Amino acid sequence: MKPTDISDPNYFHKVVDCQWACPAHTPVPEYIRLIAEKRYTDAYMINWHSNVFPGILGRTCDRPCEPACRRGRVEEEPVAICRLKRVAADYKSDIADRLPQVPTEKNGRHIALIGGGPASLTVARDLMPLGYEITLFEKDKLTGGAMRTQIPRFRLPGEVLDEELNYILQMGVNCRFGEEITSMRAILDEGYDAIFVGTGAPLGKWLDLPGHEEARDNIHTGIEWLASVAFEHISSIGKNVLVLGGGNTAMDCCRTSKRIGGEQVSVVVRSGFDEMKASPWEIEDAMNEDIPILNFHVPKRYITKNGKLVAMEFEKVRKEVDADGKRRLVPTGEEPATLACDDVLCAIGQENSFPWIERDLGIEFDQWEVPILNKSTFQSTHEKVFFGGDAALGPDNIITAVAHGHDAAISIHMLCEKQDISTRPNPITNLSSQKMGIHQWSYDNDISADLRFAVPHADKKKTLNDINIEVELGFDEQLAFNETMRCLNCDVQTVFTDKLCIECDACVDICPTDCISFTQNQNEPDLRRNLLAPADNEEQDLYVSDKLLTGRIMAKNEDLCLHCGLCAERCPTNAWDMHKYLFNTAKAENACQS
């Protein structure tokens, strides 16, 4: 193998698994260390700069960071990254003086944002401090988008939502509430320098089965129903409720039903329990509220009596995997199951929808009516029109929408500055030694062996009776501290200088997880097999040195490194040193600087 090029900004970024997995690339270990030091406000601001909604995401994020967490590979469970983020938000002090200054004198450019969800607001957050004038169109009377309409208040309290939305709106965003856009042509005609479309995926899917017409009054699509509950247009539901679907929307629907009148609330899914799309912790929370989940039930028809929905019929199936490994659901041949119900909530998917964009404006759509975009600039085929969030690539999550917003803001800024928007600004990186003394590092390398700490919940008796009582209480300061100590500090990198190495094996002997080998150079597959301990996780790189004195090379398997720094402590020549690698994606403010 060739020696590893550690000057490639992606090399060490990839080692920080959580940050690499985060769509917005939040510097996770850095803020976790700050929480450990009780520097909650500093921790919050690191989050705020990269993911804009730390308090919201600390409660609702899909947490792509956690399955990626290295801790999950050396122990059972990852660090509770998401809930630590909430700790930063819960315990921070006033941040008003830390927010970017918005110039009173504008730069003369005017941007329109369509839809008031996380993607649009991120664009506003990035461009307002640069002097842009921004007009935001929102069909509802409040911003927040899906964060407000699809996430129930018992998971995300209104004041947390409003606080973080207001940080942005108070920068002076010109909001046009209650205006449902019906024509993109009309918006274009208003003469904006750029238009960002962040309208989400607002169309819930119906399940059109026999009996649908007659039962219509008691069949709802999950997201529209959740929005109606959020805006208090709906405040009750029948006693027997069936929720169809196995995603996070279904979990929110069943838990919401349980709080506004549903007594027998069940979730019904077509396939197996372990194939459900919902996040495991959301399934767990629903089950904790005594909501049964029936799997392998395929809905067949709505049953009505006197023109009113009374039940649904399901075919029972089982999973079969054929010779090609293709999975099929096969009827078991049992009697169909009939489940009584007063209301049905369909949470089986959602789509984006652009009936308001005329098709002769130069904004092209593919065969599925999804806008054709450049995936890194988020520019459509119309130079001035950008898409982000669910509107861009279909239903995803909040943190992805935020990441789109940051990228689109860069593109819009570069477009306005007449620069080539395909040449993206470099990330901001810094690699610095953490050595304080012979055995002292400026980070705490003595990681805790504790298992993951659970977040305390409020009493079920209380929360099930009031839709506005938050279920999760969040970590207290002591629990939070204990959880931070589980973080392996993967951003503190093991940096190897081959010229200093005397091949004494001290690092090999001390490494707790057998990451380091000195061996003859080989091609990558052979090397992976022949290390001290095999490196079979190919998603994780090998860090390979140049030739050493004996003609061997040093090869380190990044996969299981605990970043404990013992290799560097035992190294007599400083060939190993621990360097903190800070990586921040470029934002609009970093573009157009040369």
Partner 1 sequence: MSYINKPKFKHPKMQANDIGLTRRDYEGTLTTLCGGCGHDSISAAIIQAAADMSLEPHRVAKISGIGCSSKIPSYFLNKAHGFNSVHGRMPSVATGANIANKELYYIGISGDGDSASIGLGQFCHIVRRRINMLYIVANNGTYGLTKGQLSATADLGSKTKSGEESQFDNIDMATLAIELGASFVARSFSGDKKQLIPLIQAGLTHKGFAFIDVVSPCVTFNNTDFSTHGYKNTWENHIALNGVDFVPMREEITTSYAPGKEKEITLHDGSVVHLHKTGNNYYPTDKENALHHINEHKKQGKIATGLLYINQSTSDLHELQETVDKPLNSLGNQELCPGSEALNDINNTFR
Chain residues that interact with partner 1, rule: CB under 8 A: 73-75, 439-440, 445-447, 449, 502-506, 508-510, 512-514, 533-534, 536, 549-550, 560, 562, 564, 566, 569-573
CB of 390 or CB of 559, closer to partner 1: 559
Q: How far apart are CA 412 and CA 406, in angstroms?
A: 10
Instruction: Enumerate the H helices of 297-397 as residue ranges.
Output: 390-393
Residue placing its CB nearer to partner 1 in the complex, 240 or 557: 557
CB of 500 vs partner 1, minimal distance in Å: 11
**Cα(197)–Cα(570) distance, integer angstroms:** 55
C-alpha 200/C-alpha 222 separation (Å) is 15
C-alpha span between 216 and 344 (Å, rounded):
10
Cβ of residue 549: shortest distance to partner 1, in angstroms? Answer: 6
Q: How far is the CB of 505 from partner 1 (least distance, A)?
A: 5
Q: Which of 164, 177, 17, 149 is nearest to 89 (CA)?
A: 164
CB of 521 to partner 1, least distance (A): 17
Which strands sit side by side in the sheet containing 264-268, from one edge to the other?
219-221, 343-346, 240-244, 264-268, 293-294
Which is closer to partner 1, CB of 96 or CB of 438? Answer: 438
Task: Name the amino acid, one letter, at 496.
Answer: F
Please, what is the minimum distance in Å from the beta carbon of residue 566 to partner 1?
6
Q: Where are the beta strands (DSSP E) in 38-186?
A: 110-114, 133-138, 174-177
CB of 499 to partner 1, least distance (A): 13
CA–centroid distance for 239 within its chain: 34
Minimum distance between the CB of residue 534 and partner 1, rounded to whole angstroms? Answer: 7
Q: How far apart are the first and last CA of the chain?
A: 37
Q: Are 349 and 395 in contact (CB under 8 A)?
A: yes
User: Torsions phi, psi of 331, nearest 5?
Assistant: -60, 140
Among candidate residues 121, 204, 119, the one with its CA nearest the CA of residue 400: 119
Q: Minimum CB separation from partner 1 for residue 532, in Å?
A: 9
Q: Is 428 helix (H, G, I), strand (E, B) or coil?
A: strand
Instruction: Choose between 210 and 572: whose C-beta lies nearer to partner 1.
Output: 572
Comparison of 458 and 508: residue with beta carbon closer to partner 1 = 508
Query: In DSSP terms, which residues pair with 305 in a beta bridge?
Result: 308
* Shortest Å distance, C-beta 507 to partner 1: 9
- For residues 392 and 386, give the distance between their C-alpha atoms in angstroms, rounded to a whole number: 9
DSSP 150: T
Quick one: which of 239, 219, 237 has its CA closest to 229? 237
Q: How far apart are CA 367 and CA 371, in angstroms?
A: 9
* C-beta closer to partner 1: residue 476 or 514: 514
CB of 451 to partner 1, least distance (A): 12
Residues 6+ apart with CB under 8 A from 81: 18, 28, 32, 63, 65, 66, 69
Q: How far is the CB of 438 from partner 1 (least distance, A)?
A: 9
**Residue with Cβ nearer partner 1 (404 or 563):** 563
Closer by beta carbon to partner 1, 351 or else 503: 503
Closest CA to 268 of 285, 280, 288, 251: 251
**Sequential DSSP letters for 92-106:** ----GGGSPP--SS-
Pick 190 or 505: Cβ nearer partner 1: 505
Q: How far is the CB of 522 from partner 1 (least distance, A)?
A: 16
In the complex, least distance from residue 564 CB atom to partner 1, rounded to whole angstroms: 5
Pick 375 or 439: Cβ nearer partner 1 = 439
Give long-range contacts, CB 8 A cutoff, 24+ apart: 203-207: 203/350, 203/351, 203/352, 203/353, 204/346, 204/347, 204/349, 204/350, 205/346, 205/348, 205/349, 205/350, 205/351, 206/346, 207/244, 207/299, 207/346, 207/348
Q: Which is nearer to partner 1, 471 or 488 (CB)?
A: 488
Closest distance of CB 431 from partner 1, Å = 23
- 75 vs 396 by CB, closer to partner 1: 75
Phi and psi at residue 315, to the nearest 5°: -95, 135
**SS3 call for 49:** helix
> In the complex with partner 1, which residue's Cβ is closer, 221 or 557?
557
Sequence-distant (≥ 6) Cβ neighbours of residue 449 within 8 angstroms: none
From residue 368, how far is each of 351, 372, 562 by CA, in Å? 10, 10, 45
**Residue among 72 and 157 whose Cβ is closer to partner 1:** 72
Look up residue 210 and give its amino acid: P
